[in-house]
Structures are given as structure tokens and as C-alpha cells.
Amino acid sequence: MSAGDLAIDVQQLNKHFGDKHVVKDLSLSVRRGEIYGFLGPNGSGKTTSIRMLCGLLTPDSGSGTCLGHDVIRDTAAIKREVGYMTQRFSLWEDLNLRENLDFIARMYGMRERRRAVDEALENLGLAARQKQLAGALSGGWKQRLALAACMLHKPRLLLLDEPTAGVDPKARRDFWQAIHELAADGISVLVSTHYMDEAERCHRLAYIAYGNLLASGTAASIIEQQKLSTWSVSGADLAALAQQLQGMPGVAQITPFGNTLHVTGRDEQALAASVARLAENSAQRWERIQPGLEDVFIALMEGTAQS
Amino acid sequence: MKGFSWSRWIGIMLKEFIQLRRDRLTFGMIIGIPVMQLMLFGFAINSDPKSLPTAVISADNSSLARSIVAGLKNSGYFRIVREISSEAEADRQITEGEVQFVVHIPENLARRVVRGERPALLIEADATDPSATANAVSALSGIGRTALAREFTGPLARLAPLPDPLDIRVHRRFNPEGVTQYNIVPGLLGVILTMTMVLMNGLAMTRERERGTFENLLATPAQPVEVMTGKLVPYILIGLLQVSLVLLAAHFIFHVPMQGSLLAIYAVVLLFIAANLTLGITFSTLARNQLQAMQMTFFYFLPSILLSGFMFPFRGMPGWAQVLGNLLPLTHFLRLVRGLMLKGSAAAELWPDIWPLLAFMLVVMAAGLRFYRRTLD
Ligand SMILES: Nc1ncnc2c1ncn2[C@@H]1O[C@H](COP(=O)(O)OP(=O)(O)OP(=O)(O)O)[C@@H](O)[C@H]1O
Ligand SMILES: [Mg+2]
């Protein structure tokens, strides 16, 4: 793969805050037109990594390029071509919707500013409320406005930090549809999220915990790599069962999923034996299932938390 | 400047305008501060205070002495609160601020006047606030004459003494320099500008940082120079508005003379505003939050008031304080504006106070650009 095909290509990025090592030797490559999911528990360094990619933070060490521009030296060029949506709402609450978008358009020196802003408002479905102050929007609408703002200047790479946090399901679906359309046009997207369904909609994923990149690849390959075996159990008295399972050989984690319980472990045989013992004289129904991304991520997270 | 974009610059300026317009509190402050200060200082300056508490020590019981005391009362300026007999008591009263004046009437006043000896009538004045006593003092000599004219009527008219029969001596205590009232209005101009310009601009950038919008601004291609200077413009206009308010009040309410050209005054004001704004925006690049910016502003404001010659006569300060004072823009601004308003100074006479302002601005701007955070680190 030639470098020209990579929208993001960084190696060994490190970042410290004081003596806290927040991002450790992060290497990432995101292809052109790819939707790349960025997952990890709270405080794992996702936002910090994204900020380093768009020049808002200077890495302590490491190197790489973003859209072909050096992430250390060429931050001005990167800023012009990247659309960054912050995790926390960072547009101006005392400007109205149009003024916010207009300001952003000016910052990027856009021609035909008026039309671009009109279009964005129209797409958002907020044209009628354009005179409303951004601070008066509901949380979900703020997210959607911020998203529209960071796409306004038609960037070639989008860095989205939890863009759909607090957004309703319909809007989320629209958002992902739009993202896939953009990707089809060759725009690359790095998106951080805590939602598993969103993770599954990404072409590839990276999972980071406590600054370490623990897994990356397609959802299927990540699940594959972890070699987990998972059982789903349904029936009565699941809470008591969960108590019982705790600490049994082979059982690494027990996660309630609605009316079922997922029991996951790395040691397939030990887990199967434990399950067999419990299943013998009980009314619950046991079923071996494919582990999902969530099972894998929880396993990864607990694995690093212990170490 | 590499990559400077006027369109971005205009964008930043417009945004600041809009935000300012919506920020009622700040807007209120902009109008409120000059009005409030004018009221506070203005009344002390020129309201021509009357009925000032006065004590009389009289060693003479003649009708002439009584007539003088009556004259003091009738002038409206003096309110005789007590007659006292000992010098020590008089001293205590004036020192503690119980009375503003002590009038000493010497022994045998009437007789000595008749003999044409021009006896001295000593008036001690608490001149801590010279503007408060100035008019009263100037009314004194008239009072003496009127009282005498009243006494020496009829057959005594012949004795009517010399044109100026009393030697009225005013002893100004506590503030011998006697700063005049006109000094204060131009000073007020500088103080108001210093306070509001540094403060408001000090908050401009820290506000962005505190609200998290700085991250968005940083992620755009906007350059430090564009942001810093673009944010200044609305405040320059505000400063000019404040100045106009004060000048109008100076002219119509306080009748301060205007010797120099208005244009020159505005030019000087503009320079001073720019210097203060630059300092403000530099403070705001250094401060982590609005509170810190506020503290920095007051840290700067205090010496500006104390050492610039606004509060105390500049020449009266010790050498080191004068050196410090000369580093402050307000010092030079006061000289410039007083020169222009009261003396009608010419351009060449102004230059020694203009270049320090320019130098101050350049140095501070350079520091601001140096400390402007280009990243979130
Ligand atoms: N400016 C900063 N100064 C000091 N520490 C910081 C700073 N920014 C982030 N950190 C620390 O770095 C770590 C990673 O933070 P980061 O915001 O990158 O996590 P995240 O993965 O985005 O978390 P979340 O899912 O909650 O958004 C955290 O422990 C955080 O406390
Ligand atoms: Mg984050």
C-alpha cells in the first residue's frame, strides 16, 4: 500500500501530561475512504490521540502524516483540510446557528459562504431556527450542529470525537448513512464512540485502553484474534446464577444482556466444563454463541485493568 | 505576515462584535463605568461644595469680628459648627476631619484695622481634597471686605480703612500642591480606559478557553495575529465611545477648557486604547481562566492609579516611584491629555510621551504573540 492511500499514517506517538503517560506508542493507519472506529474506556486516551492528529497537541515523540502532511511540522496545512468535531460542544453558545456556521466558513476562507451555510442549515433541518442561539439547542441538536460545522468546509478527513453521544436513534442512523456516503466519495473518517452498534458499522477498528493500542482490524478479525468462547443463558433466577458463576473455573466475565446473561472466558474447555456442571440440574437454557464485539472489548478492558 | 487573511480577520472581528452585543453585563459596564466614575469623581471635582464645617477661634469680641463670622456664614460656604478657645483643640478638630476650616481671629482685630495695621486673619484649610475647599477659599477675601464695609458706615466711614484692610492668610494643610479640578477630568479619562480596556480584553481570550470554544478556534486555520488583533477592534470602538462620553461631560457639565484640537486628543486616545488592549489580550493569553485575568488586571491597575500622577502629584514621588511610573502608559497619557486639553501643547511637545506608548505596545504585543498558545498543551 503506498503512502498516498493512507489518510492517517502515524507511528509511535507518545503523550505525557505531567508524569502521566496518556498515549503510549500509538501507531495507526487509516486508508482513504475508510471509516475507522476508535474505541476504548473513559480516560484511555482517545481524545488526546485525536488532538495530536490534528495539531492541537504536540506529541512528545513519534512521527507520521495526516493527509500527507507531517503531524509535527505541518499542522497549519492539516488544519485546513481536516474537519475536527470536539467531544465537548465547542461552538459559540452566544452566537446563533447561522452566525456559528458563518464564522466557521470564514475561518476556512470559503468562497460562496452564504450558499454553503444555507445548504448546511437546510440539511440539518434547522433553516427555520437559524436565528436561535446555539446555547439554547438541546444536547442532541448541539451535536448535530457541531457535526455540520466540521463538515462545512468539505474536509478530506474527518476526526469525530464521540459525534453521536446523546443523539437519538433516527438521527444516529442518518448520521451513519451520511458518513458512509462521504466515505464512498473518498473521504476518510476517524470516529471515536462507545456504542457497539456503531463500532460494527466501521470498516476497521482500533481499541485503546490506558494509552495502549490493544487490538485493531476489522470487527470480525478482532473477535477472531481474542479467541473467546461465550455462552448465553436465559431463564429464571439469573441474578442468583451470576453469583454462582463468579469465580468458577474458566469464567472470566458475566455480562447481563436484557433477559440473558453472557458468560465469557478464554479457556474454552474449562468454561465448557463449568457450564456443563451448572446446566445439569437447572431450568435455565444454555447456548453457545459467537462472542460479540462488546464481549471482546470488556474482556480486553478487564485484562488490562488487572495487569 | 505570512498567511495573514483579511477575511478571517474580519470574521473574528464580527464574531466579537456579535458576542459583545449579546453580553448585557459587559455592555452595561462599558456605559456604567464612565458614568459612575464621572458621578463619583465629578461631584467631588466641581459641585462647589457649600456649608463646610468650620470652627472659629476668636480672640476678639468686637462687632467687627462678629460681622466677619456672620459674613462667613452668609457666603454659604462656611457652616460655623463651633467656637473653640484653644489652639490644641483646633488642631485636633481639623486633623480628625471634624471641621474643614479653622478661622483664627486675632486679638484686637477691630482696633488694629482702624489703625490700618492690616492684621492677619489666618484660615487653616484641610486641603486633602483641594477641589472641595477651592471655592470657599476664593470667597474669603470678599467676605472680609463686605464685613468691614458694613461696620464702617456713618460717622465711622471716615475710618474706612485701606482698600484691603485685612491680611487673609490661607494655610493649606495636607496637600500643599493643590491639584486643580481640571486635572481630574483628563485623569479620569485615562483611568476609565485603563480599567475597562485591559479588563475586557483580558477576558476575551480566557473566556474562549473557559467555555471550551478555544479548541474549536484552534482547530481552524485562524492565525494568532488574526485572532489577537481581530478581537481588539470592537473594544477600540467601545473605548472611543467611553471617551466621547467623558469629553461631553467634561465640556457640558464640568466646563473643562479645551485648548488643543479634538482630533489630536482622539489620536492620543486611540494610541492609549491600543496600548491597553494589547496588554489586555496579552494578559488573556497568559491567564488560565477569567479569574486570573481579572487578578492580573487589578495588579496592573493599582500602580497605574497610584504612580501615574492621577492620585498624587508625579513630581512629588520618590525617584524609584517615578521610574516605575514612567513605565506605565497611564503616566504618559495623563501628560498628553492634560497638555492637550489645558495647555494646547503642540505635536513636538507631545513626542516625549508618545514614543513610550508605542514602545510599550510593541513589547507587550511581542510578548502576547510569543505566549499565545497554538496548541492545547
Ligand atoms: N490537558 C490535560 N492535562 C492533564 N491530563 C489530561 C489532559 N487531557 C487529558 N488528560 C488525561 O489523559 C487521559 C486521557 O484522556 P482522554 O480525554 O484522551 O480520554 P478519552 O479516551 O477521550 O476518554 P473519554 O472516553 O472519557 O472521552 C485521562 O486520564 C485524562 O485525565
Ligand atoms: Mg474523549
Rg (CA), chain A: 22
Contacts of B374 in chain A (CB under 8 A): 75
Q: Report residue B336's pLDDT band, with 50, 70 and 90 as the boundaries.
A: confident
Domains of chain A and any CATH numbers:
3-223 (3.40.50.300), 229-290 (3.30.70)
Nearest CA to ligand 1 atom 30: A43
Sheet holding B101-105, edge to edge: B78-84, B52-58, B101-105, B120-126, B167-173
Q: Which atom of ligand 1 is nearest to the CA of A18?
A: 4
The pLDDT of residue B46 is above 50: no
Nearest CA to ligand 1 atom 28: A43
- The pLDDT, as a whole number, for residue B72 is 82
b/e for B181-190, b at 16 or more Cβ within 10 A?
Answer: bbbbbbbbbb
Rounded to 10 deg, the angle between the B130-151 and B63-75 helix axes is: 140
Are the CB atoms for A24 and A191 separated by under 8 Å?
no
Are the CB atoms for B222 and B374 separated by under 8 Å?
no
- The pLDDT, as a whole number, for residue B143 is 76
Range picked from A43-47, B43-47, B79-83, B111-115 for highest mean pLDDT: A43-47
- Alpha carbon of B216: minimum distance to chain A alpha carbons (Å): 6
Question: Mean pLDDT in chain B?
Answer: 80
**How far apart (Å, rounded) are the C-alpha atoms in residues B92 and A128?**
75
**How far apart (Å, rounded) are the C-alpha atoms in residues A23 and A282?**
47
Closest CA to A244 of A263, A270, A267: A263
Given 3.20.20.300, 3.40.50.12640, 3.20.20.70, 3.40.1710.10, which CATH number is that of B52-173?
Answer: 3.40.1710.10
b/e for A167-176, b at 16 or more Cβ within 10 A?
Answer: beeebbeebb
Once rounded to an integer, what is the mean pLDDT over residues B297-321?
Answer: 81
The pLDDT of residue B131 is above 50: yes
Could you tell me the distance, in angstroms and rounded to a whole number, from the CA of residue A194 to the centre of ligand 2? 10
Could you tell me the distance, in angstroms and rounded to a whole number, from the CA of residue A96 to the centre of ligand 2? 26
- Alpha carbon of A56: minimum distance to chain B alpha carbons (Å): 5
The pLDDT of residue B175 is above 90: no
Contact B377 A54 (CB under 8 A): no
Q: Report residue B148's pLDDT band, with 50, 70 and 90 as the boundaries.
A: confident
Environment class of A74 (CB within 10 Å of its CB; exposed 0-12, middle 13-18, buried 19+): middle
CB-based contact, B7 to chain A, within 8 Å: yes
Contacts of A84 in chain B (CB under 8 A): 219
Rounded to 10 deg, the angle between the B224-252 and B6-22 helix axes is: 50
Which element (helix H / strand E) includes A227? none
- The pLDDT, as a whole number, for residue A305 is 55
CA distances from A61 to A11, A14, A16, A82, B375 (A): 9, 5, 10, 22, 16
Q: Report residue B161's pLDDT band, with 50, 70 and 90 as the boundaries.
A: low
Once rounded to an integer, what is the mean pLDDT over residues A219-244?
Answer: 86
Could you tell me the distance, in angstroms and rounded to a whole number, from the CA of residue A127 to the centre of ligand 1? 35
Are the CB atoms for A196 and A292 separated by under 8 Å?
yes
CA distances from A32 to A86, A159, A185, A215, A284 (A): 22, 13, 10, 21, 48
Once rounded to an integer, what is the mean pLDDT over residues A137-150?
Answer: 90
B93 alpha carbon, distance to own chain's centre: 28
Q: Is the dihedral of CA B306, B310, B311, B315 positive or negative?
A: positive
Q: How many pairs of residues across A and B have Cβ atoms under 8 Å apart?
A: 74
**How far apart (Å, rounded) are the C-alpha atoms in residues A179 and A186?**
11
The pLDDT of residue A126 is above 70: yes
The pLDDT of residue B158 is above 60: no
Contact A90 B212 (CB under 8 A): yes
- The pLDDT, as a whole number, for residue B376 is 73
Q: Report residue A277's pLDDT band, with 50, 70 and 90 as the boundaries.
A: confident
Which element (helix H / strand E) includes B58? strand B52-58
CA closest to B212 among chain A residues: A90
Are the CB atoms for A113 and A120 separated by under 8 Å?
no
Could you tell me the distance, in angstroms and rounded to a whole number, from the CA of residue A254 to the centre of ligand 2? 27
CB-based contact, B24 to chain A, within 8 Å: no
Once rounded to an integer, what is the mean pLDDT over residues B346-352?
Answer: 76
- The pLDDT, as a whole number, for residue B205 is 83
Q: Report residue A101's pLDDT band, with 50, 70 and 90 as the boundaries.
A: very high
The pLDDT of residue B45 is above 80: no
b/e for A229-245, b at 16 or more Cβ within 10 A?
Answer: bbbbbeeeebeebeeeb
Contacts of B231 in chain A (CB under 8 A): none
Is pLDDT larger for residue A138 or for residue B349? Answer: A138
Question: Mean pLDDT lowest for which of A104-108, A283-287, B42-46, B49-53?
Answer: B42-46
Closest CA to A82 of A92, A67, A70: A67
**How far apart (Å, rounded) are the C-alpha atoms in residues B202 and B198?**
6
Closest CA to B183 of B260, B254, B270: B254
CA closest to B17 among chain A residues: A95
- The pLDDT, as a whole number, for residue B89 is 84
Residue of A23, A38, A46 to test ligand 1 pocket, by largest number of atoms within 8 Å of CB = A46
Contacts of B376 in chain A (CB under 8 A): 51, 56-57
Contact B5 A109 (CB under 8 A): yes
The pLDDT of residue B154 is above 50: yes
Question: Mean pLDDT lowest for which of A47-51, B143-147, B195-199, B353-357?
Answer: B143-147
Query: Which ligand neighbours the alpha carbon of A53 most closely?
Result: 1
The values of phi and psi at residue B197, to 5°, are: -65, -50
Q: Report residue B178's pLDDT band, with 50, 70 and 90 as the boundaries.
A: very low
Q: Report residue A236's pLDDT band, with 50, 70 and 90 as the boundaries.
A: confident
Could you tell me the distance, in angstroms and rounded to a whole number, from the CA of residue A210 to the centre of ligand 1? 10
Q: Report residue A152's pLDDT band, with 50, 70 and 90 as the boundaries.
A: very high
Are the CB atoms for A231 and A286 separated by under 8 Å?
yes
Question: Mean pLDDT lowest for which of A186-190, A193-197, B187-191?
Answer: B187-191
- The pLDDT, as a whole number, for residue B1 is 46
The pLDDT of residue A90 is above 90: yes
CB-based contact, B18 to chain A, within 8 Å: yes
DSSP 8-state code for residue B343: I
Residues with CB under 6 A from ligand 1: A 17, 22, 40, 42-48, 87
CA atoms within a 13 Å half-sphere pointing along the CA-CB vector of B287? 28
Residue of A26, A42, A47, A212 to test ligand 1 pocket, by largest number of atoms within 8 Å of CB = A47
User: What's the complex ipTM?
Assistant: 0.86
Matching residue, cell 456504542: A195
- Alpha carbon of B281: minimum distance to chain A alpha carbons (Å): 19
Q: Which atom of ligand 1 is nearest to the CA of A46?
A: 21
The pLDDT of residue A281 is above 90: no
CB-based contact, B319 to chain A, within 8 Å: no
**How far apart (Å, rounded) are the C-alpha atoms in residues A242 and A253?**
10
Once rounded to an integer, what is the mean pLDDT over residues A179-198?
Answer: 92
Interface of A with B (CB under 8 A): 51, 54-58, 75-76, 79-80, 82, 84, 86, 88-95, 99, 102-104, 106-109, 133
The pLDDT of residue A187 is above 70: yes
Once rounded to an integer, what is the mean pLDDT over residues A12-33?
Answer: 93
Query: In DSSP terms, which residues pair with B53 in a beta bridge?
Result: B79
CB-based contact, B8 to chain A, within 8 Å: yes
Q: Report residue B106's pLDDT band, with 50, 70 and 90 as the boundaries.
A: confident
Contact B375 A56 (CB under 8 A): yes
B221 closest CB neighbour out of A89, A103, A108: A108
The values of phi and psi at residue A288, to 5°, are: -80, 130
The pLDDT of residue B163 is above 70: no
Helix residue ranges, H only, chain A: 46-53, 75-81, 97-107, 113-124, 139-151, 169-184, 196-200, 219-226, 238-245, 268-280, 293-306
Is pLDDT larger for residue A12 or for residue B159? Answer: A12
DSSP 8-state code for residue A192: E
The pLDDT of residue B35 is above 70: yes
Once rounded to an integer, what is the mean pLDDT over residues A64-82?
Answer: 93
Residues ≥6 apart with Cβ < 8 Å to B221: A76, A79, A80, A107, A108, A109, B8
User: What are the extents of the domains in chain B?
Assistant: 52-173, 180-371
- Using DSSP, state whether B92 is helix, strand or coil: helix
- Alpha carbon of A76: minimum distance to chain B alpha carbons (Å): 6
Question: Mean pLDDT in chain A?
Answer: 89
**How far apart (Å, rounded) are the C-alpha atoms in residues B241 and B31?**
9
**How far apart (Å, rounded) are the C-alpha atoms in residues A54 and A48?**
10
**How far apart (Å, rounded) are the C-alpha atoms in residues B208 and A92?**
9
- The pLDDT, as a whole number, for residue A69 is 93
Contacts of A95 in chain B (CB under 8 A): 15, 18-19
**How far apart (Å, rounded) are the C-alpha atoms in residues B300 and B310?**
14
The pLDDT of residue B177 is above 50: no
Is pLDDT larger for residue A2 or for residue A261? Answer: A261
CB-based contact, B146 to chain A, within 8 Å: no
The pLDDT of residue B368 is above 80: yes
Residues ≥6 apart with Cβ < 8 Å to B7: A106, A109
Q: Would the pTM of this model clear 0.80, i.e. be above it? A: no
Q: Which residues make up the environment of ion ligand 2, defined by Cβ < 5 Å?
A: A 46-47, 87
Could you tell me the distance, in angstroms and rounded to a whole number, from the CA of residue A88 to the centre of ligand 2? 8
Is pLDDT larger for residue B156 or for residue B119? Answer: B119
Contacts of A108 in chain B (CB under 8 A): 220-221
Is pLDDT larger for residue B101 or for residue A27? Answer: A27
- The pLDDT, as a whole number, for residue B127 is 66
CB-based contact, B19 to chain A, within 8 Å: yes
The pLDDT of residue B253 is above 50: yes
